[in-house]
Amino acid sequence: MKEPGTFKILSIDGGGMKGIIPARFLKQVEEVIGEPIHEHFDLLAGTSTGGIICLGLASGMRAEEIANLYINEGAKIFGTKKSKVPIKKFEGLGISATYDNEPLKKLLIEKFADKKIRDANTMLCIPSIEHHKAEPKVFKTPHQHDYIRDAERYMWEVGLATSAAPTYFPAACIGDNECKIDGGLWANNPVLIGIAEARKMGFQLEQIKVLSIGTGDSIYNAPNKIAEAGGLLSWQKNLVELTMQAQSKGAWHTAKYLIGDNLIRLNPILSQALPLDSTNEEDISLMIREANHMFERTFVGDRVRDMFFETNAIYQ
């Protein structure tokens, strides 16, 4: 059945390998409802690893297949660290991305092939950044008359662009010599992008319902001396982690203020800190357990089923 007068959004945070958590959660949802996730939402908004998940869902992949990509292919993406090739401006400091993005690019091309954004089964909003101008960029399906350029983007390009996390991967060079980096630096939790898009389409705040899924929070326990020192070499990857956590929490609180109980936020508190690039078997097992527990605790008890999976989306 349709649900007249309601616009439903699925929003998925960034978080590297921790994308296993939302992917496994959605796998269990699909097993219960017996239908693809995308049929129950009008818009999918995802950043970085969440963007890849949303692209996969919108392209027709089942959540189980997406989850298995992380579990089975993660070691190829985050397996071999690059040799430290100095950036000319910082000669001698050995600054470069930790990983080559070629394994990720190869995997995305393999899975998405020649599918373009216009081929998506539901509306999409995928954040990135145009590095040359330090401008936010949101890749969108052509669901508005003036959304024309992104329609011809290959899905693999968008997946590479949204997940090019500084210090982990180099920038994504796509299109006409464009230089894109991870949208998580400004919208790691893309919930506000989804709400803004719904408003642009004419929906009132009370008509918007959002299921926002995080990739798990752990206590940010970096010592204050890192911030007190202030230098790039002192911060290292802590700066990316701090930026993404702070943005995610800020977006969540703002969205809650805007739509109140029409927002359900699922984001487990992890029992230990998990690096964005961990492919350790024990860490992967922990992520799977967290996803299982989150499903058992929230699917019925926190109104997830009743609010999002009892009726289908209105734009199908």
Taking the CB of residue 64, how many other CB atoms lie within 10 A of it?
15
Is 60 exceeded by the pLDDT of residue 1?
no
> Where does the pLDDT of residue 228 fall: very low under 50, low under 70, confident under 90, or very high at 90 and above?
very low
Q: What are the pLDDT digits (tens) for 296-314?
A: 999 998 899 999 998 666 5
Answer with the residue of higher pLDDT: 97 or 31.
31
Q: What are the pLDDT digits (tens) for 163-187?
A: 998 888 989 999 888 899 999 889 9
**Is the Cβ–Cβ distance between 296 and 289 less than 8 Å?**
no
> Where does the pLDDT of residue 225 fall: very low under 50, low under 70, confident under 90, or very high at 90 and above?
low
> Where does the pLDDT of residue 148 fall: very low under 50, low under 70, confident under 90, or very high at 90 and above?
confident
The region, left, alpha or beta by phi > 0 then psi within -120 to 50, assigned to residue 232 is alpha
**Is the Cβ–Cβ distance between 77 and 104 less than 8 Å?**
yes
Instruction: Name the average pLDDT for the chain.
Output: 88
> Where does the pLDDT of residue 101 fall: very low under 50, low under 70, confident under 90, or very high at 90 and above?
very high
Is 80 exceeded by the pLDDT of residue 105?
yes
Whole-angstrom Cα distance, residue 190 to residue 198? Answer: 13
State residue 313's pLDDT score: 61
Please, which residues bridge with residue 182 across strands? 128
CA distances from 167 to 94, 171, 208, 233, 261 (A): 12, 10, 36, 11, 37
Whole-angstrom Cα distance, residue 15 to residue 9? Answer: 19
Answer with the residue of higher pLDDT: 68 or 237.
68
Whole-angstrom Cα distance, residue 152 to residue 175? Answer: 10
State residue 273's pLDDT score: 84
Q: What are the pLDDT digits (tens) for 39-95?
A: 999 999 999 999 999 999 999 999 999 999 999 999 999 876 665 544 444 444 446
Is 70 exceeded by the pLDDT of residue 98?
yes
Q: Is the pTM of this model over 0.75?
A: yes
